[in-house]
Amino acid sequence: MPGRALDMSISTLKMVVVPVLTGVLIRWRFPALVHRVVPYGQALAVVAFLFVTGSIVARDAAAVIASAGVLTLAAGLLHMMGFGLGYAAAR
Angle at the Cα of 36 (from 30 to 40), degrees rounded to 5? 120
3-state SS, the chain, equals: CHHHHHHHHHHHHHHHHHHHHHHHHHHHHCHHHHHHHHHHHHHHHHHHHHHHHHHHHHHCHHHHHHCHHHHHHHHHHHHHHHHHHHHHHHC
Lowest mean pLDDT among 4-8, 52-56, 64-68: 4-8
pTM score of the predicted model: 0.49
pLDDT (tens digit per residue) in 62-71: 888 899 999 9
Give per-residue pLDDT as tens, 20-46: 999 999 999 999 999 999 999 899 999
pLDDT at residue 2, rounded to an integer: 64
